[in-house]
Structure 1
């Protein structure tokens, strides 16, 4: 059987939205869905069973089991033909979900989960998984535009190739168009070779924009040939990458970015662009690890 789609659940409205998204992903991928609740209370050495003075159905353990059952019901309502299982796993959420990602083809969580810090727009669980998970992580923020395209952020780096592959595959199973967006400014792009060595800072007018457009075309060419059924729109924007992607996400059903790209700093597991998208995009965000990494 194919590796499952795994969703982290905590009983919040955000996590139930993630369960619904995960059920659709499992249906599109022809695989099963596994729901995981990280049960931290045993490590806190607190009573797990019902209180002697309360109902027999009370207690933290029973609450966790009811939470898992509710999530299963929600998933089955969205995708009745998908096999759904659930588990209550002892441990803190960050560690449990990172371990689970070793056995998943996709991890799905809400934008606010247990373990998130008050005041953060996206819980620490989402950032942690996107940085250290062993498969792509889908963080369900806002619902997104169901009729919009899959939005792909392209920077042309080798680390971004898996994100391009993921985005094309998502567009194919969703029956959606793909909008491949590459943003640049003269300050975040390597300078092209000068036309005149005596004038190292002078170049042909428009040469930088042309070169960046070629970079975008070359980056997606292989997947475009592999998925001829996907209608692709290319857009090269002369503006900051974060601003361009956030703006375009208003009309997208999904945003796909690499965990780290051309502008990433060595040693950082999650790039600044992907972190910004997790906090500010207007649709669900999929963060895809680069080749040879677990970030």
Structure 2
């Protein structure tokens, strides 16, 4: 039975996350832990109890039979949610797309969760509308997307949607060997990246041959390549190196660039989750 932890604070974004979770568990057995985090010094905690009751009522109405647990935690939202969800299968929160500056002022909770959590984190945009589009997963060259790929396969199998594998590439900076400049040709570089994509496709077909799969090899940055398909995806799935929030801002984290622009839920899967974690569900 899947165990989902939902962060809920009554906001429109968390309302979309609540709707997404209800849709997910409506036709299957699952346990949903609804968590509301309040500051230790907050004087009014009654609103937290009202919000939890609101979420429970919604789940009972839209997903009858689901096991619902209500939890009010105190402290930092990011730390409380990640600690509480440490043994869960999925952590779900809402996000307000298009407002990275506002989110940074508020503490950038979605980014913190994506870098701290040891489980997949699904971030559902405010105004989310259910769709039957394919699950899109970004394929990296360094193996950091192995767990993300396994998660995406299971998600496509669960929903009956197709699967889209997206791998991007850019020309590398020319290297110098003595006085000579070593320049790779676009054909050579593209061929190397095509092998990465084909290896991912083979991995999928060896395990789930019945899932419709399409591949996309894009000459662009990883985030731009994924965002091309956001409007045609039921979910974007990406892996993470767990570099941390500050490192992500300096190194151009794909999650950071995708989250504020995606029109669909984005799931960040930590590399250390391991693909076997999701394959066990077969």
Shift in alpha-carbon separation, 1:236–1:121, aligned structure 2, 3 A: farther
Paired position in structure 1 for 2:280: none
Alignment of 1:28-39 (within 5 A): 30-39=29-38
Partners of 1:161 and 1:291 within 8 A in 2: no
Paired position in structure 2 for 1:74: 58
Shift in alpha-carbon separation, 1:13–1:145, aligned structure 2, 3 A: closer
Paired position in structure 2 for 1:201: 183
Instruction: Confirm whether residue 173 of structure 1 aligns to residue 163 of structure 2.
Output: no
Which residue among 260, 281, 285 is the counterpart of 2:241?
A: 260
Paired position in structure 2 for 1:235: 216
In structure 2, distance between residues paired with 1:102 and 1:268: 23
Alignment of 1:1-295 (within 5 A): 2=1, 4-27=3-26, 30-40=29-39, 43-44=40-41, 46=43, 60-112=44-96, 118=102, 120=104, 124-141=108-125, 143=128, 146-187=131-172, 200-201=182-183, 203=185, 206-260=187-241, 268=247, 272-291=253-272
CA shift for structure 1 position 27: 4.6
Q: Secondary structure of 2:237's partner?
A: strand
CA shift for structure 1 position 232: 0.3
Runs of 4+ displaced beyond 6 Å: none
In structure 2, distance between residues paired with 1:68 and 1:146: 27
Shift in alpha-carbon separation, 1:244–1:287, aligned structure 2, 3 A: same
CA shift for structure 1 position 164: 0.3
Superimposed CA distance per residue, residues 216-269 of structure 1 (whole angstroms, 9 cap, x where no aligned partner)? 1112422332112211000101122211111211111100000239xx79x947
Superimposed CA distance per residue, residues 98-134 of structure 1 (whole angstroms, 9 cap, x where no aligned partner)? 111212110000005xxx9735599611111100001
RMSD, aligned α-carbons: 3.0
CA shift for structure 1 position 147: 2.3
CA shift for structure 1 position 25: 3.2
Partners of 2:118 and 2:273 within 8 A in 1: no
Q: Secondary structure of 2:272's partner?
A: coil
In structure 2, distance between residues paired with 1:283 and 1:111: 11
CA shift for structure 1 position 211: 1.9
In structure 2, distance between residues paired with 1:101 and 1:134: 8
Superimposed CA distance per residue, residues 50-69 of structure 1 (whole angstroms, 9 cap, x where no aligned partner)? xxxxxxxxxx2322111101
Structure 2: tracts of 5 or more residues without a match: 275-282
In structure 2, distance between residues paired with 1:160 and 1:148: 21
Partners of 2:2 and 2:29 within 8 A in 1: no
Computing the radius of gyration over CA atoms, which structure comes out larger, 1 or 2?
1
In structure 2, distance between residues paired with 1:177 and 1:291: 25
Relative to structure 2, which stretch is displaced further, 137-146 or 118-127?
118-127
Partners of 1:9 and 1:35 within 8 A in 2: yes
In structure 2, distance between residues paired with 1:90 and 1:102: 17
